[in-house]
Structure 1
Amino acid sequence: MTWKRFLGGLCLAATVGIVSPTHAVTVNVTFADSAGEGFFDSTLGAARQAAFMYAMNLWASRLQGTVPVQVQASFDPLGGSASSAVLGQAGFTTVHANFSGAPLPNVWYPQPLANQLHGSDLSTQPDITAVFNSDVDGPVVLGSVGFYYGTDQNPGSDIDFVTIVLHEFGHGYGFVDLIDSNTGQWLSGVPDIYSLQLTQHGVGDFDTMTDAQRLAALTSNQVYFNGPNVVAAKSGDVKIYAPNPYESGSSISHWDPSNTPDLLMEPYYFGAHHDIDLTRQAFLDLGWTVLPPAAVEDWSIY
């Protein structure tokens, strides 16, 4: 069972919002499903919405910002087999560089972060779009295993949906690279803030590499995150998933599974996990202001 991400847009259906505690970012969520399916399914819809909003609360309570984050989410049949399936996909819709408030020139920042740094919305598009696999709740994909929509981290043999949402929105808020996996080139010749935190042992930091060196690094199994906050938290840099061959949607944009203890942003589901753990320090390195934990009960939903 793998996590994957995507960048894209969805249609509008219905909107709810989260009003955050003081200083935490506000999130506006649009459920983009048609009546009677997905988040509006007559049987599972209410539970899906509740679990999703719980995860939104957990993420938003940790991120400081003055610009509301616009989210669109839906369920769609993404397929799979009795033993394997894509559980969900999410990503930011645009990136921005050289805007007023950018900490570094000529560097891409993901839309949700760029908006906070700039102080207003830089795009009319949703900041993050997400889709989750409705087939997981059917009888074929993953067999008898389905999504668990509780919030108590006790999914039994099922898959904890809150954990899936937390992971996918880690990508949506910026835990992802924009490197061309075929050439090693930066997007439009401009590095992204996430990749500027990466290094290959024995070669150097990604921003000092040639395109060919960067391409080789993607499958080197020797890529590490060396942002100062992560290094301080772990007393050293932390390994990034860089297998050979390259795995689209997984390589470079996840912690390596060899890290202990298990981390939220690993490439494979390992069980219920409602802690953003080391992603907190990684986000500080990207430029987010990250708040101490806040109780979900401090939130209101409208």
Structure 2
Amino acid sequence: MLVRRSFLLLYCLVALLALASGSPIFAQRTPSSALPLPDVTGSEIAAPTVQIIRLDFNPTGSGRCEVTLTPWPEQAKQAVERAAAIWSTLLNGSQPIVIDVCWSTFLNQDGTPNLGLLANCGSRTGAFVNFPGAPLADTDYPLPLANQLGNTDLNGSDPEMQCRFNASRTDWHTSVDGIVPADQFDLVTVALHEIGHGLGFEGSLTWDDGDDSEIECNNTLGVGCYAQIPAVYDRFVQTTRGKGILTFENNSTALGDALIGDALVFEGVNAKVANNGIAPRLHAPTSWRMGSSYVHLREDTFQEGDNRLMTPNTESGIAIHHPGVVALGMLKDMGWEIYDLSRAYVDAGNSGMENGGVLHPFNTALEGISAVPAGGRVLFFAGDYHENLTISRPMRLESIQGIVRIGR
């Protein structure tokens, strides 16, 4: 249900709520007995600020958007910018992430438009292994993460990631309002998903189909294999019986069977905490699909809520504007610094460091509502927030100090 109105906000649970009118909303002060205690564990004072993510739209040149390009529609650019802003509020790192964003015509081999694929994205290729600050030896880290862990720009002026979106499709929903027609695909949702791959949802394992046109392993049907230096994602993958995926013999049918046995999990401490103590199931269908199998959450397991974002298939008519706590837990296991933002603080008067904590709150309402998962709390310091907001999942907005006005 969508409601557009001005109202007095008092412990209000909102769902699919669009605050887009010219009239502001107001938040009354929370009684002192209900105020959350400041949580400064984890050295918030010394914590980095929100992650800087810079988007380069349709850059040209060697190694950039070397595809057939179409000019970006302005509203489509704003949708991708919104997705990047959501990730920015959730990640905390000292090194900027530069993403080449290509609005390109996807073509089949015969030159006709490919209308089936929505987008694809990944970190820049290269071996980012055994650098100073790497938590695990002989492990390949996605470049955006390697830069944070090493606290340096390992690739200089080159971008950290490239994302391509299918300009041939006419069914994109490019508004950021989260109100998606049944026959359209929400670009914010797709961009949020694709950036997630570049941040860490990518591995080195593959399955060989025995086709000579592209040899995945050793050109033997049913064999599975992994890179000599595995990805950090690979280090956490196990079977449901507890056997690590990298303990299988490389280039073996036993590994191939495991990859298509619908019995893989991500065995990370933070991922399990986020998933009620259970290792999250991964997408491992009985038919291998390159780019889909292994590097997504299992769709049949995660059918509801924000955790659906990193499953392999995006439905039309759906908006998911948060990665979900399970995906964030997985990224944290891989090495990303991510705060527990089940509650986020916002203070319009903060002009310094921001990380959503009580000592260093965000300074815009948009950052606050982008950071918390479904059921989260956004706690506002008194002030005027001259913003129009769209809230597309349940959360609670509260004032912890005086009157809060949101709107233009």
Q: Same-fold call, TM > 0.5?
A: yes
- Secondary structure in structure 1 of the residue aligned to 2:191: helix
1:143 is aligned to none
User: Is 1:92 matched with 2:123?
Assistant: yes
1:56 is aligned to 84
- Secondary structure in structure 2 of the residue aligned to 1:122: coil
Counterpart code for 2:188: V
Equivalent residue in structure 1 for 2:152, among 120, 124, 129 = 120
Q: Distance in 2 between matches of 1:46 and 1:22?
A: 32
More helix by share: 1
Q: Distance in 2 between matches of 1:159 and 1:200?
A: 33
- Secondary structure in structure 1 of the residue aligned to 2:262: coil
2:194 is aligned to 168
User: Is 1:31 matched with 2:62?
Assistant: no
The CA deviation at 1:279 is 0.9
Aligned-residue CA RMSD (Å):
2.5
Equivalent residue in structure 2 for 1:204, among 243, 268, 271 = 243
C-alpha change, 1:201 and 1:50, in structure 2 (3 Å) is same
Q: Distance in 2 between matches of 1:251 and 1:116?
A: 27
Asked if the contact 1:33–1:75 (Cα under 8 Å) also holds between the matched residues in 2, the reply is no
Q: Distance in 1 between matches of 2:271 and 2:320?
A: 19
Q: Distance in 1 between matches of 2:367 and 2:160?
A: 25
C-alpha change, 1:33 and 1:96, in structure 2 (3 Å) is closer
The CA deviation at 1:105 is 0.6
Asked if the contact 1:101–1:117 (Cα under 8 Å) also holds between the matched residues in 2, the reply is yes
| Structure 1 spans left out of the alignment, 5+ residues | 1-20, 138-145
Q: Deviations over 1:218-249 (max 9, x none)?
A: 11111111111111222211111111221011
Equivalent residue in structure 1 for 2:262, among 221, 225, 229 = 221
C-alpha change, 1:128 and 1:82, in structure 2 (3 Å) is closer
Asked if the contact 1:25–1:68 (Cα under 8 Å) also holds between the matched residues in 2, the reply is yes
Q: Deviations over 1:85-126 (max 9, x none)?
A: 100010001341100000011111000000000011111331
Counterpart code for 1:176: E
1:269 is aligned to 314
**Which stretch shifts more, 171-180 or 281-290?**
171-180
Asked if the contact 2:106–2:114 (Cα under 8 Å) also holds between the matched residues in 1, the reply is no
2:337 is aligned to 289
The CA deviation at 1:203 is 6.2
Q: How does 1:250-265 map to 2 (within 5 A)?
A: 250-262=292-304, 263-265=308-310
User: Is 1:181 matched with 2:207?
Assistant: yes
The CA deviation at 1:259 is 1.3
Q: Distance in 2 between matches of 1:117 and 1:174?
A: 13
**Which stretch shifts more, 46-55 or 210-219?**
210-219
The CA deviation at 1:260 is 3.3
Asked if the contact 2:50–2:89 (Cα under 8 Å) also holds between the matched residues in 1, the reply is yes
Equivalent residue in structure 2 for 1:136, among 169, 183, 195 = 169
Q: Distance in 2 between matches of 1:82 and 1:228?
A: 43
The CA deviation at 1:84 is 6.0
